[in-house]
Amino acid sequence: MNIAALLLAVLLLLFFLLLFLYEKGRTDERLIAVTATLGTLAAVGRILFAPIPNVQPTTFLVMISGYVFGMRTGFLAGVTAALFSNFYLGQGPWTLWQMIAWGLSGASAGVLRVLIEAKGPGTVLLATRSKRWLFAIVCLLWGYLFGWIMNLWVFLSQGGSVTWGAFLAVYIRGFAFDTAHAVGNFLFAFLLAPGFAKTLSRYHRKLLIARLSVEEEKP
């Protein structure tokens, strides 16, 4: 079975597509600066929480960044976080997977925002209880998804000849770890998301308004 290889191809394609979007989109220096900052912050968070196994705020931070600043920023914050925390925690083939996994989690949060929030710079994010729950649950799910994407590289190193049983077994074996990650995400999201969203929105709003008013000035 070469599902792993197929998945890899799809993920890589998505990865480069989003990278391309970031490159070609309307990415001004304000967004670049904030993306780098958020990515680095998420990486620092990962190192800060390194003593607690598999519980780290990185996924949450990446996702809240994506939620507030949109798909591209979320994606790139995730990619940056993976890349730079690994300079400290060890670089390896898993770096690419983490880049993909975190990048996609950030991008997905951006998509979630488009789906559930009203447009415009004045919107108060995560204002209702149901939105908070939804966001926290998506964070929870990403705890598992992240682990699953990460496991793919193990399968790949097996040359793809893996039985369904082993596939399942590895995922069951990783279940405890993924659960720790997922529950951590959920807690972070549940406790912090509204506050962080508020803080980040403050900046986002400033950024949007500066941009809008610059555009208005132009004939």
Partner 1 sequence: MIAPTDSRWRKIHPVVVCLLLLVHGALVFFWENPLLIGGQLLFLILWAKRERIFVDLPSYFRYGWWIALVFLLINPLCASNGVTFLWKGPITPLIGRLDLTAEELGYAGMSMLRLSILVLLSVMYQRFIDHDRLMLTFSAWMPRFVLTAVLAIRLFPFLEQEMARIQETMRLRGILPKSDAWRDRLVHRLFLFRPLLLSALEGAWLTAETLYVRGFGSGPRTVYKRSRITGDEIMGLLLVLFIPVFAGFALGFDFGRFQFYPRMMWHDPVGDLLFLAGLSVVWILPLYWLLRRQTQ
Partner 2 sequence: MKMFACKGLTYQYPESAHPAVADVTLEIEAGEFVLVLGGSGSGKSTFLRALNGLVPRFYGGSIAGEIRFQGKALSALSHREIVAAIGFVQQDPERQLVMESVERELAFGLENVAMPPDQIKSRLAEVSHLFGLGAFLSKQTSTLSGGEKQRVALASVLALHPQALLLDEPTSQLDPVHAEELLHAVRRLNEEWGMTVIMSEHRLDRCFHLADRILLFQEGKVVFNGSPRQFAARARDHAAWQLFLPPVSRYALVHGDTAKVPLTVKEARAQLCGSLPPAVGSRVQPVPPAKGRMLEQFTSFFRKAKAEKESEPLLRLQGGHAGYENNMVLTDISYAIYPGDQIALLGENGAGKSTLAKVCAGAVPLRKGSLYWQGEKVEERFWEGGSSRVGYLSQNPNDYFLHDTVEEELSFAAKGNAAWQEELLESLHLGRYRHRHPHDLSGGERQRLALAIVLATRPQLLLLDEPTRGLDQGEKEGLIRLLRALPVQATLVITHDVEFAAAYANRVSILYRGEIVADDRPEAVFAQSFYYMPQVCKLLRNHHGCSS
Binding positions for partner 1, rule: CB under 8 A: 19, 22-23, 27-30, 32-41, 43-45, 47-49, 52, 55, 57, 76, 80, 83-84, 87-88, 90-95, 151, 154, 157-159, 161-163, 165-166, 168-170, 173, 187-188, 191-192, 195-196, 199-200, 202-203, 206
Query: What letter does residue 125 receive in the DSSP assignment?
Result: T
Question: Interface with partner 2 includes 209 (CB under 8 A)?
Answer: yes
Q: What does 168 interact with, of partner 2, partner 1, none (CB < 5 to 8 A by kind)?
A: partner 1
Query: What minimum distance in Å lies between the beta carbon of 32 and partner 2?
Result: 10
Binding status of residue 191 toward partner 2 by CB under 8 A: no
Region binding partner 2 by CB under 8 A among candidate stretches 8-16, 172-180, 181-189, 205-213 = 205-213
Tell me if 65 sits within 8 A of 38, measured CB to CB. yes
Count the neighbouring beta carbons within 10 Å of the beta carbon of residue 77: 33
Tell me if 198 contacts partner 2 by CB under 8 A. yes
- Evaluate whether 142 touches 63 at the Cβ level (below 8 Å): yes
**Residue among 24 and 115 whose Cβ is closer to partner 1:** 24
Rounded to whole angstroms, the Cα distance separating 43 from 186 reads 19
DSSP state letters, 29-88: HHHHHHHHHHHHHHHHHHHHTTTSTT--SHHHHHHHHHHHH-HHHHHHHHHHHHHHHHHH
DSSP single-letter state for residue 92: S
DSSP one-letter code for 118: -
214 binds, among partner 1, partner 2, none (CB under 5 to 8 A by kind): partner 2
> Which C-beta is closer to partner 1: that of 84 or that of 135?
84
- Applying CB under 8 A, the residues found at the interface with partner 2 are 195, 198, 202, 209-214, 217
